[in-house]
Amino acid sequence: MGEVTVRLDRAAKKYGDVYALRDVTADYHAGEFVALVGRSGCGKSTMLNLCGAMDFPSEGLVSIAGAITSSLDDAGLTRLRRTQVGFVFQFFQLLPTLTAVENVEMPALLAGFPDARAKALQLLDWVELSGLGARFPHQLSGGQMQRVAIARALINSPKVILADEPIGNLDSTTGALVLSLLKRTAKERGTTILMATHSAESAEYCDRVVRLRDGRIEV
């Protein structure tokens, strides 16, 4: 197995008196495609938020690429989120006023990395959208928008991609295409992919299924 990219060590998240996540200990490795399943409210998005340093555990520790999220200052957190983590969402969240290639290159520009445009074009090729870089999001299909979002998530070569219901808004054929692209990302680029999903079929396609129930991992 590849190196550990995300580690949760007795991590819990409380909102007021209520635990959204409790006592979660887990390691996720380079190249692993992991499905996070469980019914609505079980804590999937909460766990992804902790694994992306978008939120912090109330108890325990989360580390990403070796850095303990709750010990970083603002600059360290911004850098970690920009360079080690990519996000893919159910509703794509592309910037509507930017073209596809501009959406893809944005995280590289924000991180101050060189050759953003060339990398963005290469990634659009890789997600099989070469030639569509000049289109605006509203000129693309849902599946095409999601592939742009995956290219955007990859541009800074993050160790981890967090995908929250990435196929929830796609038909089954397009969803299958996006899933196979995520799997290729894990296998060819060594990225850890954590994907929350309600689809049993797509979970089966992953290397590992993690089932949450009332904020705990079921064994």
**Residues in the site for Mg ion, rule: CB under 5 A?**
44-45
Task: Between 55 and 105, name the residue whose CB sits nearer to ligand ATP.
Answer: 55
* Chain centre to alpha carbon of residue 103: 16
Whole-number Å distance between alpha carbons of 167 and 180:
11
Residues 110-139 touching ligand ATP, rule: CB under 6 A, are none
CB of 196 to Mg ion, least distance (A): 6
Q: Give the range of 23-31, 39-47, 126-134, 141-149 binding ligand ATP by CB under 6 A.
A: 39-47
104 forms part of the interface with ligand ATP (CB under 6 A): no
Q: Which of 43, 57, 107, 137 binds ligand ATP (CB under 6 A)?
A: 43
* Contact status, residue 8 vs residue 62, Cβ threshold 8 Å: yes
For residues 34-70, b (16+ Cβ closer than 10 Å) or e, as one string?
Answer: bbbbbeeebbbbbbbbbbbbebbbbebbbbbbebebb
Position of tokens 């030639």?
131
User: % helix / strand / coil in the chain, to the nearest 5?
Assistant: 40, 25, 35
Distances (CA, A) of 48 to 22, 100, 112, 139: 14, 25, 26, 30
DSSP, collapsed to helix, strand or coil, labels residue 92 as coil
88 forms part of the interface with ligand ATP (CB under 6 A): no
> Which H helix or E strand runs over 7?
strand 4-15
Q: Which of 5, 12, 37, 44 binds ligand ATP (CB under 6 A)?
A: 44
103 forms part of the interface with ligand ATP (CB under 6 A): no
20 forms part of the interface with ligand ATP (CB under 6 A): yes
CB of 44 to Mg ion, least distance (A): 5
Task: Between 108 and 167, name the residue whose CB sits nearer to ligand ATP.
Answer: 167
First to last CA, the chain: 21
Distances (CA, A) of 106 to 39, 55, 73, 98, 149: 34, 22, 23, 9, 11
Task: Between 101 and 178, name the residue whose CB sits nearer to Mg ion.
Answer: 178
Q: Which of 42, 148, 181, 203 binds ligand ATP (CB under 6 A)?
A: 42
* Contact status, residue 39 vs residue 201, Cβ threshold 8 Å: no
Q: Give the range of 37-45, 68-76, 92-100, 102-110 binding ligand ATP by CB under 6 A.
A: 37-45
Task: Between 142 and 168, name the residue whose CB sits nearer to Mg ion.
Answer: 168
22 forms part of the interface with ligand ATP (CB under 6 A): no
CB of 44 to ligand ATP, least distance (A): 3
Q: Please give the residue ranges that form the binding site for ligand ATP (CB under 6 A).
A: 15, 20, 38, 40-46
